[in-house]
Amino acid sequence: MSLPSDGDVRPDGADRPLIAVLDYGIGNLRSAEKALLHVGADARLTSDPGLVADADGVVLPGVGSFGACMSALHAAGLADVAHDAAVGPRPFLGVCVGMQMLFDGSDESPGATGLGVIEGRVRLLPDHVKRPQMQWNRLDVRRPTPLLARDGEQWMYFVHSYAAECDDAVVTATCRYGTDVVAMVEQGSCWATQFHPEKSSSAGLGLMRSFVRLVADQSQEATRP
């Protein structure tokens, strides 16, 4: 997807926050990095735990199967790094399978254990719908979040055959695809989306821009005397 031009979209009055995009060799991870750069972050695709530790925020993208992504994350030595970042105080964003990996496990790969950051399991979409869901779909925002605009309909792009089942308390947004499908979750400083914000045109870039601003604001707050 070509990114729309929004001019200088860096957080007002802030330096570009350092955001580590975890590089574990799966899929097109650079699309998330490029989108973050576009909306004002100093985004770095990295497998260096030291750089991740120094970053102001962390992003875990993911495409493909749950088991393959978890295996690759462990092989890259980033599973514990991702877990610790997701439960820590810095803003963290999981995307697509990067969201699914935050849960305990997935029916797609029964032998693979997830990161266990959010209680719940990833299940196959219902039999009566086409799998995968590969389309734009409208979000039903369930509770306020700093990453989503408060007004107007928001359409995001989904590509997935599995979706999380979890406590309603962590669900920020759903979409309708034969049933209510968990589209976004939030727990502490951890946010995650089943959709691809980096492929969702202005609405998705708006979410990523809000994430970058949130990272910048939290970083500035942490450095104030």
Domains of the chain, by residue range, sit at 18-141+153-223
3 — pLDDT class (breaks 50, 70, 90) = very low
Q: What's the confidence (pLDDT) of residue 151?
A: 75
**Which long-range CB contacts under 8 A does 146-150 form with residues at least 24 apart?**
146/210, 146/214, 147/172, 147/184, 147/186, 147/191, 147/207, 147/210, 147/211, 147/214, 148/172, 148/173, 148/184, 148/207, 148/210, 149/203, 149/206
CA 39 to chain centre: 15
Angstrom distance (rounded) from CA 148 to CA 173: 10
Residue tagged active-site, from 96, 166, 175, 190: 96
What are the start-end ranges of the H helices in 41-197? 49-54, 66-75, 79-87, 97-100
pLDDT at res. 173: 97
Tokens of 24: 């574990």
The architecture that CATH gives domain 18-141+153-223 is 3-Layer(aba) Sandwich (3.40)
Average pLDDT over residues 73-77: 97
Count CB-CB contacts under 10 A for residue 7: 5
Task: Give yes or no: 196 in active site.
Answer: yes
The pLDDT value recorded for residue 61 is 96
Residue 220 tokens read as 């500035």
Pick from 175, 55, 70, 154: which is nearest to 112 by CA?
Answer: 70
More confident residue, 9 or 73: 73
pLDDT digits (tens, 9 = 90+) for 105-118: 999 999 999 999 99
For 31-59, write each residue's pLDDT tens digit: 999 999 999 999 999 999 999 999 999 99
Instruction: Clarify whether 96 is annotated catalytic.
Output: yes
Torsion (CA) 39, 45, 51, 55 in degrees, nearest 10: 20
Q: Can 198 be counted among the known catalytic residues? A: yes
